[in-house]
Amino acid sequence: MDDAIFLSHIPKEKRFFLSQMILILCVILCMIAPVPAERVFFSDGTVYNSSFSKDAILEQFEKYPERGPVIVFHDLICQSCKDAMDYFREFEQIYPDVPIVYYYLHGNVTNKLLFETYMKKYHQDNLLAPTAFVGPAGIEGNKSIRLVFEPFALIYQNI
């Protein structure tokens, strides 16, 4: 059916209202749809990809001068954060000797400022929770955390 014929029986004012409602609905759907954020990067700003060799990854950890706990920024409002926190609880049961410090972001200005400090230190913009900092590596997103957190955390603790 031709759109012009189909819409011709609807008064012009109602067509305008209908198009505005569709636009508003699209905007609302875009606002509530989850934004998947998945990224693995290093403190020198390099973004990890599957072409990195094992040696290149080990070199990143070996040349990183600082030692300390794994740092995790999270927010329990998003489902990705809840899933990541479930993973971290499982990880801590298996590896209780790996120190992890958690920073809850929701409504906490101090922790948000600390998160921004880490973003600058790792040469990243607009990171979203959950994000873990494991020595020289930053891991953003539940899927990325589940993929590389364990080997990275174990490498970092054993160097």
Other C-beta atoms closer than 10 Å to the C-beta of 88 total: 19
* pLDDT 10s digits, 129-159: 999 999 999 999 999 999 999 999 999 998 6
Other C-beta atoms closer than 10 Å to the C-beta of 25 total: 10
With beta carbons less than 8 A apart as the criterion, state whether 140 and 131 touch. Answer: yes
Q: Could you tell me where the DSSP H helices lie in 65-108?
A: 79-94
Query: Which of these, 152, 139, 129, 153, lies nearest to 73 by C-alpha position?
Result: 129
* pLDDT 10s digits, 93-119: 999 999 999 999 999 999 999 999 999
Global pTM exceeds 0.85:
no
Query: Which of these, 54, 48, 51, 43, lies nearest to 134 by C-alpha position?
Result: 43
CA distances (Å), origin 76, targets 66, 86, 98, 104: 29, 11, 22, 8
Q: Mean pLDDT over all residues of the chain?
A: 85
- Please give the Cα distance from 77 to 58 (Å, whole number): 34
Confidence at 35, pLDDT banded by 50, 70, 90: very low
* pLDDT at residue 141 in the model: 96
- Please give the Cα distance from 72 to 102 (Å, whole number): 5
